[in-house]
Structure 1
């Protein structure tokens, strides 16, 4: 219990790192509530990150935010941040419908961009954004653009994937939620014009995990049911959804809700593999050994708080001819990975502390890319485009319609 409390406390109150002379200076577009967790707190312990400036639609709001979080400079507009030669990178936590425009503007201004998920409102916007000529590797020192789907960077998810064999996956269930009191109906999540909806707010986490588990893209959205407030105002924004996707080897399920029960239930990804034959030279030629595996990751969204990876292998020794079982048994194990050292040999030697949030691991990767260093994991532009394609598939299937496309070009 002490280690848990110490880990969580340090996550939110990390040690202050001495900043290097060539630290990356961030400008923040908007005084969003996600910014402290997504950037400000992780930056405290990163020696190569300084949160330098912020702008918001309301300067007084930006000033109050800057005072509270120790940001030294406040600007009158987003444009002022983009025009500042001393700002190296921008963090964009704006409403979803504004991600595309301000990411494009930032890239064209030569800034590196850490862009809150989902990257855009739909695949059309993502395709334009991630194919901007300014991002081409043929350009000298092109900006780094990353969709900030933070959970994908935590070692727990990568440890979990070491137990998954994508060609054998036949079914995946994922779920995520926030309690009903967390999001009010006047929040952005219920505003269609600003890209609201539970699929946009939470479902993108589920979709990303599904794609990583199957190691491929969904071929079809089979079903997608939603629940809406039905008040004539918020009818295009789902507060709950349940979707089924067909992948090449099996079915992936995703469910999320903005109206969960009072207490927070950890997110979950549960993977079922097909039955496979396990070579065993100790068996007679008339028998075979088969295994069916189920792997569950509890807490894939905020793994630093708590997570557990459960592996359950069900074995059968049976007659090859009659298929009659001779022996059955189950082997179970549980695992955790708070650092990349815990995640497996492929990640040995990589930096990390058990108190690092997924946001801190994400920031590490972002900085490493800017500095030209190798990263253990990355979300490519092509990946982000495919992610929005999956979101569009769900909204097309449920009849609520795609989130609106910006007219900005």
Structure 2
């Protein structure tokens, strides 16, 4: 318990380090309530990041946000930030419907972009955004879709325990208690590309693709629930989506922005097909079989708590009649808060057990901007394919795609 409290306390109150002379100066577009967790707090412990300016369309809100979070400058126009030659990069935590426009504007202004997920409202926008010519130029802008949880070392350890070709079924789920959501907020505004799938459902979708190491061939079903009030009817407050992947495996993603008060940690549970395991100690008329289940509890905020469980179920059976001779289960669990915990090969990879996934993400963003090697990255194809998956789900649900921006 003491270790947990120390880790969480340090994560939210990290040591403030001296900034290097060539630190990346970042501007935030929008005084979003997620910005402190996503960028401002992680930046305190990064010597190459300075959060220089916040822009909000309301003057008083911009000023108050800057003072509260110790940001040197504030502006009342997003474009002012993009026009500022002293700003190297921007973080965009705006409503989903504005991601496309302001990412395009930022890229064309030569700014690096850390873009809150989902990158766009739909796959049409994603295909246009990630194919911008500036992104392929040497020394050009870096664009990263901020799926923070993908950067935590627990994901790397979890994935190493899975054989994608043998995955038979995957269950993923994540939730937000209803008291933390606003029925009339951006999450449930169709014009702002709202909906449970578009928000936290994307976390489950990206994990499914990572686990299967493939893109889904078909959306088999998409069950959604809305408020049914005639106002929010095109925005799902909860969803359960099922996909078929190329190896025949089924992946399910369940999400809700209107969950119960009793919070449940997010979960990814992977069941492999039963496979024959070579064992030279067995008689020739017997064979040994293995069914592996790997579960990651707490993939959303792994720095607070998570656990990776591996359950290997063995059977020794007769080859002729298939009758079991012996059965047993071997189980193990692990927690991976830093790359040092992930194995000897990662011993020199930076990271502390108190680093949030946002801090690991920021590390990689800076590395890419500085032209250094990255351990984890989410590339253009990855982001485009994720939005295709989101579109598949919304088409299957009958709620329809989130609207495409008119900005060009």
Q: TM-score range by the shorter chain?
A: over 0.9
Aligned to 1:376: 375
Aligned to 2:135: 135
Q: State the distance in 2 between where 1:368 and 1:285 align.
A: 54
Q: How many residues align?
A: 407
TM-score normalised to structure 1 length: 0.98
Are 1:123 and 2:114 counterparts?
A: no
393-402 or 70-79, larger mean C-alpha shift: 70-79
Deviation at 1:321, TM superposition (A): 2.0
Deviation at 1:345, TM superposition (A): 4.2
Q: State the distance in 2 between where 1:123 and 1:293 align.
A: 34
Aligned to 1:308: 307
Q: State the distance in 1 between where 2:241 and 2:344 align.
A: 35
Quickly say closer, same or farther: Cα 1:184–1:361, change in 2 above 3 A.
same
2:179 aligned counterpart, secondary structure: coil
The one-character-per-residue Cα deviations of 1:316-348 (angstroms, maximum 9, x if unpaired) are: 111122222111100000111000111234433
Q: Which segments of 5 or more consecutive residues in structure 2 lack a partner in the other structure?
A: none
Aligned to 2:192: 194
Q: State the distance in 2 between where 1:97 and 1:351 align.
A: 35
346-355 or 242-251, larger mean C-alpha shift: 346-355
The one-character-per-residue Cα deviations of 1:217-255 (angstroms, maximum 9, x if unpaired) are: 000000001100111111111000011000112000011
The one-character-per-residue Cα deviations of 1:19-66 (angstroms, maximum 9, x if unpaired) are: 000000001100001100000000000000000011111121111000
Are 1:27 and 2:27 counterparts?
A: yes
Aligned to 1:110: 110
Deviation at 1:122, TM superposition (A): 0.2
Deviation at 1:389, TM superposition (A): 0.3
Tell whether the 8 Å contact from 1:347 to 1:376 is kept in structure 2 after alignment: no
Aligned to 1:165: 163
1:176 aligned counterpart, secondary structure: strand
276-285 or 85-94, larger mean C-alpha shift: 276-285
Q: State the distance in 1 between where 2:166 and 2:38 align.
A: 35
Q: State the distance in 2 between where 1:12 and 1:41 align.
A: 7
Tell whether the 8 Å contact from 1:57 to 1:77 is kept in structure 2 after alignment: yes
Deviation at 1:387, TM superposition (A): 0.5
Q: State the distance in 2 between where 1:376 and 1:177 align.
A: 28
Aligned to 1:403: 402
Tell whether the 8 Å contact from 1:153 to 1:377 is kept in structure 2 after alignment: yes
Aligned to 1:44: 44
1:248 aligned counterpart, secondary structure: coil
1:349 aligned counterpart, secondary structure: coil
Tell whether the 8 Å contact from 1:221 to 1:393 is kept in structure 2 after alignment: yes
1:283 aligned counterpart, secondary structure: coil
Q: Which segments of 5 or more consecutive residues in structure 1 lack a partner in the other structure?
A: none
Q: State the distance in 1 between where 2:159 and 2:63 align.
A: 43
